[in-house]
Every structure is written in C-alpha cells, then in structure tokens.
Structure 1
Amino acid sequence: MASGVYLFIGEDAISKEVKLAHLKKEFLPSKIRDFNLDVLYAKDVSVKELREKILFLPVKSKKRIVVIKDITSASMSLRQFILDYLKSPLGHIILIMDTDRNNPKDSFIAELSRLCRVFTFEGPAGVNTFTLSRAILGSSIQRALALLHQLLNQGEEPERILGGLRYALNKEISHPSTLKKALRYLLSCDIELKSAAIKPQDFKERFALEKLVVRLCSLTQFQREA
C-alpha cells in the first residue's frame, strides 16, 4: 500500500467532507491551507494539469493535498498516469481520490483499492450524520433524537456528528441570520463537549448533543414558518 494516498468510496458526501476536514487539519497549517489544497474533477482534468499539481511544492507546509473527485470518470490516459504515480508517490503529496460507487468489475478501482488506504462511506439510506441532518432540517425532533441516540450507540464520535451537521447546515440553510444562530449553537455545544466536566460517553455528553438537536430543530421550524 502506497503512503499518502486515499480512496473514498460511497455516497455519504457529508461524512466524506468531515473526513477531508480531519485530513486537512492533520496535514495543513490553517492559515495557509488554501495554498496547499487543490480539488480537481476527473472528467475535466488532463494528465498535464494533474502532473503540475502534484509537482507543486507546499507553501510553508510539509504537505499538499490534491483531491480528485469522481475518479471513475478519469480518461484512460489519466488512469494510467495515476497508477504509474502510485508506484512511487511523492512524500509531500496527500492524494485523495473519490467515487460514489464501488464497481467490482472496474479493474481501475480494484487496483486503487489495493494500492490506497480505503475509506468507505455508506449512502444516505444508512444511519449517519446525513440522515440526522435531514431530520433536523425537517424539524422532526423525535426522529432527530432517535437518530442521534442510534449514532452514539453505534460509537459515532461527537466531533464527527458536529462536523457533519456543520457541513449540512452551511449547505442547506439559506437565511443568513438563521445560519448564524445555528453555527452559534454548534460552537456552544462543541465548547461544552470539550469542557473538563464532560467525559466521553458520559450522560452529560448525550445531554449536550440532545440539547443541540432540540435547539436546531426549533430553529429550522421557526425558519419554515417565517
């Protein structure tokens, strides 16, 4: 398995964004993050362009991240270039390839799965931050709380739940003042979870997240009725 190369498989876009955010936080200094991150789309990028992005040196950082979306749309020449690159990847590059579908008949994806570190993200039908965010945006308090409890019982990390909700609310809430309140609620919950008084899997942790879900549901209900 090559170092510094990842393959994201699945339809849960929110969880993918949360994982990408974790990798950016791990490898890229926050103040110059945008200078060391490129997001490309396989159907639009040429071999020449990808080669240039990979050869760029990091700016005041040890690493650069290059993301290739919808990797199954890559041309044959781009696929071959990527496979050749993975034989000897550059140490300063974190290469992340993304696809919604895992087609076992696609030899390219099969080879990437062998060479890369693979992360699988379930589709929206599963219980995840996507389904929780949809319940909140639909102002369904009982369903949202039930989904929250299921996520926690499955061992989902609170920071992943908060990250997924933050992504969904930023994307779905159009009213600026409502979004500002929602993000303030998320920040307040994050601070509460990180306080010394709350330990992982503690009752207070659940209560903090439950309080957040109720507040967000009430907020989205108010927006729907306005």
Structure 2
Amino acid sequence: MDYLGFMNSLKREVISPLYIFEGTEKLLMNQMITKVKEKFLPEEVEAFNFDYVEGDKVSLKQIVDLANTMPIMSDKRIVVIENPPFIMTVKNKEEKGEEKFLLEYLKNPNLSTCLILKVIGKVDKRKKIYKEMQSIGQIIDFQGLNREKMEQWILNYLKQRNVKIDAEALSYLIIVGGEGLEFLTNELDKIILYVQDEKITLDVVQNLVAKTSEINIFHLIDNIANKQGKKALEQLNISLSMGEAPLKLIHLLVRQFRMIIIAKDLLTTGYSEKQIREKLEQAPFIVSKVIGQGRKFSIEELIISLEYLLDTETKLKSSGGLTRELMENLVIKLCYQ
C-alpha cells in the first residue's frame, strides 16, 4: 500500500495494530504519523498516549512493553519506533534472544495500540520476524513519488497556499523532487516567500532553487543527449564553479550512463517501468528520467560514452592542472561522437 491508500484508510477510521513505514520519503512518513495522531488522539491526552523512540535506544522487550501499555483517557495509543534494527540489515547482538517477546506479542497484539515501525530506507525482508509481521500488519511504501504523484503533490502544496505555477516551472520542480520531498518543501517555501501573490515562473525557480550534483548531472546529460554542446559546456562550468570535483562528476556521469544502459536493455526485453525501478532500486521519477534519456542514445553510443568517461578518469588522475580542459573535451566528445 502507498501513502495515499493509507490516507484513505484513515479517512474511514480503519487502523491496524501494526504498520511498517518503509522508504526514503521521511517527510511523508512524518506527515502520516501526524495524521494518525490527529485522527485518533485528542490533543489534550497526546502526552500520555504517544511514544516516539529511536530503534537503537530500546530493546525488543521494551518495545513490547510500550505496545502493551493501555491508553489513558483515550481509545488509542500510538507508538513509533524509528529505524528498528531487528527488521533492518543492521546487526544487533540482543536481537536473537529477544525476538521471542515480539513474536509472542504478534500472536495477540494490543488492539488499543497502533505500533508504527518507521524504516528510513529498506527493511530486510529475509528476516523471519518481518515475515511474521506481514501477517498481522500493513506495509506502507514511502519510496520516491512517480512523476504524476509528484506533480499532484506540488500542485496540492501550492493550492493550499493560494499560489499558482506555470507548466515549465512545474516540470523543473518535478526534477528537483527527485531529491526528496523534504528538500522540495524547503525550496517551495523559499519560492513562495519570494513570489508572494505572483505566479511562479521558470525563471524564478531556476534562480532560487538550490542546485545539487544530481540535478546538474540530469541537465548535463539532457544537453548531451540533445547534442547541445554549448549548453552542455555551460552546465559543466556551472558544476565546476560550484566546487564540484571533476572526479566526482565523472563518477556521477558513469553511474547515470550505466543506469541508462541497464534501463534501455531491460525495456527492450519487455520489462515494465515498475520492474525496471525495482531492478535499479531508484525513485520512480529518476527511472522515468533515465528511460527518457535512454531513448535518445543507441546502445553503441552509450558504451562509447562510458569508454570516454573511463579514459578521462584515468587522465584526470595523472594530469597536472588540465582538469577543466579534460572535462570540456570530454563533454564535446560525448555530444558529437
């Protein structure tokens, strides 16, 4: 189930005794936890019935004790455990001996408690305890949003604040959204403060939104794919002027071109975009972007591009002060191979 399905269940006042929140969108997780509190915990009794604990600071037995505690002046208690080691790949010496407490609890969970295990990243689905949890709980997916959901999220965020945006600015913000909603929210708040009652335009977004390595690489590869040498060089110089190390840029480009090759190959063998996302273990929008970029290259061009990148990496490691010249020559080769 994704977060939208979870929100719909809350509207129907349906709540499970156990949830596993899994993914990279920490902001969305926190928003959903707030919605659970608003729906089931009156503000005046929240202090007695809400616990938020870091997973590495508490034992499994203590978690069970928290879950078994009955609510005070309320029908529900909410217990949130952030990054519990027992369902992650983190090694925990105490885990094996204490699993029995949680396994016993899962046989007869306290229906007055909503236990939320908040995993920022991935759970270890091989673990026996995770499989047991699936039988009584719900897994809520908080991976990065796809293009459509990202667009809707941005529009809803702006609508709540009575701010309008043009199509080009929205498209640019969707790229920024690949960095995560927490980053995007900070950028939107900054833009809203700047425009006040005016419409958000592409110029405003490009001038105000913080540039990141990943965003710059997307722009650089877009320019390379479109054979726009001048724009590609301008984008390269933006990255270098921001202090990005040339070798780091090479590594990011290699990673991106490898993803494009893998996605292109999987697409030709009949994989769906969702299956490709699972293979690449990337956010939906990044995969959509990678697939789009792949359509502008042949496999041969992509392989040659990787060879250029690796050759430039070798030269960078042995060059003196020729880094900018080497990087500019690389970009020209990638554009006009």
The answer for the alignment partner of 1:81 in structure 2 is: 101
**Structure 1 spans left out of the alignment, 5+ residues:** 151-163, 189-209
Provide Cα deviations, 1:108-160, integer angstroms capped at 9, x if missing partner. Answer: 32332232111111137x4456995xxx9xxx98665137789xxxxxxxxxx
Out of 132, 147, 170, the position equivalent to 1:145 is: 170
Change (3 A) 1:86 1:30: same
Amino acid at match of 1:89: P
Distance 2:183 2:43 in 1: 18
Contact 1:6 1:119 in 2 (8 A): yes
The answer for the alignment partner of 1:153 in structure 2 is: none
- SS of the residue corresponding to residue 43 of structure 1 reads helix
**Structure 2 spans left out of the alignment, 5+ residues:** 1-14, 159-164, 176-180, 211-337
Contact 1:129 1:165 in 2 (8 A): no
Counterparts of residues 113-192 of structure 1 (less than 5 Å)? 113-123=134-144, 126-127=146-147, 145-146=170-171, 168-169=185-186
Distance 2:67 2:134 in 1: 20
Distance 1:167 1:90 in 2: 38
TM-score, normalization: structure 2? 0.40
Distance 1:59 1:143 in 2: 52
Contact 2:82 2:117 in 1 (8 A): yes
Alignment size in residue pairs: 169
Amino acid at match of 1:33: E
Out of 68, 71, 95, the position equivalent to 1:55 is: 68
Provide Cα deviations, 1:20-67, integer angstroms capped at 9, x if missing partner. Answer: 122111111123323311112222202443243223332321111011
Query: Does 2:40 match 1:27?
Result: yes
Contact 2:53 2:81 in 1 (8 A): yes
Per the TM alignment, residue 222 of structure 1 is displaced from its structure 2 partner at its CA by 7.0
Change (3 A) 1:20 1:222: same
Contact 1:17 1:167 in 2 (8 A): no
- SS of the residue corresponding to residue 39 of structure 2 reads helix
TM-score, normalization: structure 1? 0.56
Provide Cα deviations, 1:62-119, integer angstroms capped at 9, x if missing partner. Answer: 1110111112256224433222211101121111112221433333323322321111
Q: Which protein has the bigger helix share?
A: 2
Distance 2:114 2:141 in 1: 18
Query: Does 2:89 match 1:96?
Result: no
Change (3 A) 1:52 1:121: same
Counterparts of residues 205-216 of structure 1 (less than 5 Å)? 214=200
